[in-house]
Amino acid sequence: MADYEELRRRQVEANKRKLEELQLHHLSAAVREAAAAAKSSPAKSLKRKARVPRDAAPAEPLRRSGRVASLPQQPKYQDEFHDIERKVRRKYGTGRRDLANRVYATDEERSYAIAKAEELEEELGSDHPIFVKPMTQSHVTGGFWLGLPTQFCRKYLPKRDETITLVDEDDDESDTFYLANKRGLSAGWRGFSIEHKLVDGDCLVFQLIARTKFKVYIIRASSYYENDE
């Protein structure tokens, strides 16, 4: 046991001599002093950007490139769309026809009306663009949406939403709203349909007599029975 204690004492003394040679105790003291000085110094304040109230007016107008600024003011088609649609809807209303009173055409009635419409199409000739449109329930009840032939729309009708006038056989005019992307008549078509008492199975001939005006001829499905008489 005495030998172990003597060996340990010698090792401790040897370590102290090495520390003195390396002067590590001076380095440790310098580190402690630097740490103490850092704690006692005031913290640096963080710089923040001043907040600008949301309702504050900008100090100067937004810059635009010369090329963009020189362009003419673009029309607001969306506003124009709503204005025209509101005018058409005020004229004809937005209510729906009583679905309980729907009229369903027979196959014979439907085929007869289509055949007569195609005969009329030939008689009218090709001086004006023309197409035949048989009526179904969705055209004359409920949603009152009239889709038009895609190829006809692409070739002859406006490329953006616009009012299209329908002229019946008595030359009475009705305004409808044409949706270019959907290729069909929306607001105003309901009024035309109800006013002319269109039902499932009727067939219409649309003749484009002006850029946004159709002459409309109506072949009644009920005329099938008149023909029998």
Q: What is the pLDDT of residues 96-138, one digit of tens each?
A: 445 545 778 899 999 999 999 999 999 999 899 999 999 999 9
Q: What is the dihedral of CA 23, 27, 28, 31, to 10 degrees?
A: 180
CB-based contact 201:225 (threshold 8 Å)? no
Please state, in angstroms and rounded to a whole number, the distance separating the CA atoms of residues 188 and 178: 9
Rounded distance between C-alpha atoms, residue 175 and residue 92, angstroms: 10
Average pLDDT over residues 46-54: 57
- Rounded Cα–Cα distance for residues 141 and 96 (Å): 7
CA end-to-end span of the chain: 139
pLDDT score of 8: 80
> How, if at all, do strands 162-167 and 213-219 pair?
parallel
Q: What backbone torsions phi and psi does residue 187 show, to the nearest 5 degrees?
A: -55, 135
Of 115, 135, 101, 109, the closest CA to residue 216 belongs to: 135
Give the pLDDT of residue 97.
Answer: 46
pLDDT for position 122: 96
pLDDT of residue 6: 82
User: Mean pLDDT across the chain, nearest whole number?
Assistant: 79
Single out the residue of 116, 120, 104, 101 nearest to residue 226, CA to CA.
Answer: 116
- Quick one: average pLDDT of 144-157? 96
Question: What does the pLDDT read at residue 212?
Answer: 97
Range picked from 76-80, 83-87, 104-108, 163-167 for highest mean pLDDT? 163-167
For the CA atoms of 10, 11, 17, 23, the dihedral, rounded to the nearest 10 degrees, stands at -160
Instruction: For 48, list phi and psi in degrees, rounded to 5.
Output: -120, 145
- Alpha-carbon distance of 175 to 172, in angstroms, equals 10
pLDDT at 93 over 50: no
- Say whether pTM exceeds 0.85: no
Query: According to the model, what pLDDT value does residue 63 have?
Result: 58
